A and B are shown apart, each in its own frame.
Chain A
Amino acid sequence: MIKLDHVTKSYGPRTAVRDLSLDIGEGELFAFLGPNGAGKTTTIKMMVGLLFPTSGRVLIGGHDLRTDGERARLLLSYVPDQPFLYEKLTGREFLQFIADMYGLSSNTSRDRIEEVIDMFQLADFIDDLTERYSHGMRQRTVFASALVHQPKVLIVDEPTVGLDPRSVRILKNLLRKQADSGTTIFLSSHSLDVVEELADRIAIVDHGRLISCGSLEHLRSHAELDGSLEDVFLRLTEEAPAEVSPTRDADGKGGA
């Protein structure tokens, strides 16, 4: 469902993502981990068509994001780490706008909007302007909008930041349920406990390069360590060669 084919992305003289290839199947919950500046957000931006790869291809449901972007984006939903809402729209108006954007018929959109309002417990504030929402309310509304058109692919960047434990629990259940129902979830997070609990496969990137990819067991064997994901992550990123290419900054810092 998601395919990255030898993707490289350079920012001027610096390379943020280096020859990255991933193949993620339908209904898979795929976690994408890496230290700050590892190239995670750049990869996600290429997967939603905000940036183009310097070389290689990104395909969603077989559609190349560069040449057939509109069809590819019809299949996906993206929840960024700093989600956007129109301050002068109510939550319901925002959901309606998203439903219309994906071309849902009026009956379908009405039903779906009620469904997601119920799913994310938005009823108390859905008819208020979003400028009055707290962080948690905004996050839940954005998730509701991401699911209103039942996407085939859900790309989520740092979904648990600022959420209370109950909301985190609701979110974890929801992500698992979505994956079980056939939606491909691409989850980028620093919350390793959430990833450990949910992910089918985990990829770890550092300095724009894929270090390891597979189940938690596979990662453990790669790291030669029988510990938690946190231990494995630290071991693998510690050992990752910080190859300083001729194109890197003089201070040696990497990142996107």
Chain B
Amino acid sequence: MSVAIPSSVRERVWPLLSAVFGRQTVLFLRLQMRLMTNSITILLRQSPIRPLTVFSVMAVIFIFVFLVSVEGFAFIKMQKLALTDQIVGMVLDFLFLSLGIMLVFSTALLLYASLFASPETSFLLSKPVAADKVFAYKFHGAVAFSSWAFLLLGAPVLIAYGLIGEAPWHYYILLGLFFLGFVLLPGSIGALLCLLVVNFVPRQRKTLLILGAGLFLLGLATLVYQACFIAQNESLDREASGRLLNRLGFARSVLAPSHWVSSGLRAAERNGSNDLGLSLYYLALIWSNGLLAYLATTWSASVLYRRGVNRIATGGSLRRRYGESWLDKLLAPVQVFVRPSTYLLLVKDFRTFRRDPAQWAQVVVFCGLLLLAFFNIGVFSGDSPWVYINNLSAGTVLLIGLLVAVYNGRFIFPLMSLEGRKFWILGLLPIDRAQLLWGKFAFSATMMLGFAEVLTIFSDLMLGVPWLLAIVHPLTMLVLVLGLSAMSVGLGALLADFRETNPAKIASGFGGTLNSIIGLLFLLIAFTLISGPSHAWLMLDRRDDLSWFAWSTILIAMTVGLAIGLTALILPLRLGLQSIRRREF
């Protein structure tokens, strides 16, 4: 069944490793390897579509970030600015700081789920295994999982930096070593944070971790905005560059590990006589601190992990009272256009959604970021030329559409799968199964329509777009919301995974990935056809009295776009409905 290591090698290697690292450490290493080889074997035996899709999406993201980085570094190099080295240093400092802080929170959240809310750790803790060994085993998994984004987003930037700077070969080797050393530090800090929160504030643990992540994202957005503001409004001369550097000075502190990595990599890239030594010094600094933090965290786990499991179970009342809430009343207007049975299903989904902080907290973070961007629209638009406003308004509609697509992919697509083993309850209800789909569709479309249309109209008003765009944009958004909601609900039913209980895994699985890709394609096509021609003609000449030829192209493209939107609305729901009617339970 599995890709196996030859038994002769195995029998010699494992005892040797056990003698060096300890029996339990090696036991978990073997378990991880066995689980990985079995999973890869199964993946290879199944249809290649899923790994190919995942690989293609990752390749596209990697290449996109790489190309943008090449352009960026080439631009900075071409400008021959007095502060070029400092600007590049600042970019790398900021990159590592933000990725590092993201790693802190993602490791903390992942570890919370795997250490304190998983049946596997309950099983392991009832065995004669040291708590710190279980912790280390789950820590490695969490850090590996949370640092893939670091690899996907950071590696292309740093490879581009090396290529443009004509770095020597050892730069690329040191890159990997710096990466491995660096992830230990934020990973350990995140793990320690998780242990401390669970042990000392067990009742507010989830809220605290999620709020921390949300605050960080808002802080990051503010900083990015400030940097963009300076870059946008002032020519990048010595004074402006200096101001930009001062604004982000905290990321450049000699005590910041992100600065050590950035400095080490810049030294490796320079290839001067003392630079390799300097780079190795920073590498040693990163590794020694990373390992020290890891040791401190595993020691803390030996004291705090079992205590934390006990604290979580006993830290507060297990029974929390829930009942009808004023929030349910927000859905009341929907009763006008759905059947009473559909409305009941809708209320059920809404209650499930809002009682899971991991779900709604992400929506809050999304909305916070978006609102921040929208309040800044005025600052950006000012007396900007028409071309800029035209592009900005198009980009805003695309951004809102992207958020609707992400929201649907992350939260709506998994809804049918999450019915999982409870599906028989819904299956036995005296209602047409179509109502299950309509309920979820109404839930998604109602929430998203209000949110997206208000933002679209608000941004158009702030930008002062012509009346044609003020009509076309809300229409585009209507088509996008209905189409994307129908796709997520329909494909969610068609490709339901009733075995999985984690919505994040359902969303990132094969069905979820396929849904996201189709959703993004639909977004681009619908926007190009419904809004695109209006933007193109208005770009050429900002007149409201367009020629008959311009009007013809706008109307024809819009009709095709609406037809595609209608297909996106009907087809997935039909497919989903056929699948759900056939489904046995």
Contact = CB atoms under 8 A, between A and B. Distances in A.
Interface of A: 9-14, 45, 48-52, 54, 69-71, 73-74, 78, 80, 82, 84, 86, 88-90, 93, 97-98, 100-103, 106, 127-129, 249, 253, 256
A54 to B, nearest CB: 8
A49 B127 CA distance: 9
A51 B128 CA distance: 15
Given A69-B306, A128-B1, A84 B314 contact: no
A78 B313 contact: no
Interface in B120-153: 120, 122-123, 125-130
A153 to B, nearest CB: 12
B366 to A, nearest CB: 32
Interface of B: 1-2, 11, 23-24, 27, 30-31, 34-35, 38-39, 42, 119-120, 122-123, 125-130, 306-307, 309-310, 313-319
B42 A88 contact: yes
14 contacts: A11-B314, A49-B125, A70-B130, A71-B128, A73-B128, A80-B123, A93-B34, A93-B38, A97-B34, A101-B128, A102-B128, A103-B23, A127-B1, A129-B42
Contacts of A10: 314
B562 to A, nearest CB: 45
Given A89-B34, A93-B34, A102-B128, A49 B306 contact: yes
B72 to A, nearest CB: 42
A98 B123 CA distance: 11
A48 B128 contact: no
Give the interface SS of chain B, mostly helix, strand, loop or mixed. Answer: helix
Given A70-B128, A73-B127, A88-B39, A50 B316 contact: no
B11 A106 contact: yes
Contacts of B30: 97, 100
Contact of A13 (B130, B313, B317): B317
Given A51-B313, A52-B310, A101 B127 contact: yes
Contact of A97 (B27, B39, B126): B27
Nearest to B314: A11
A88 B38 contact: yes
Contacts of B1: 90, 127-129
Contact of A50 (B11, B27, B125): B125
Contacts of B31: 86, 97
A11 B310 contact: no
B27 A100 contact: yes
A14 B23 CA distance: 40
B317 A86 contact: no
Closest 8 CB pairs of A and B: A84-B123, A73-B128, A48-B126, A74-B128, A88-B38, A12-B316, A78-B126, A12-B317
Nearest to A90: B1
Contacts of B130: 70
A251 B278 CA distance: 68
Contacts of A78: 126
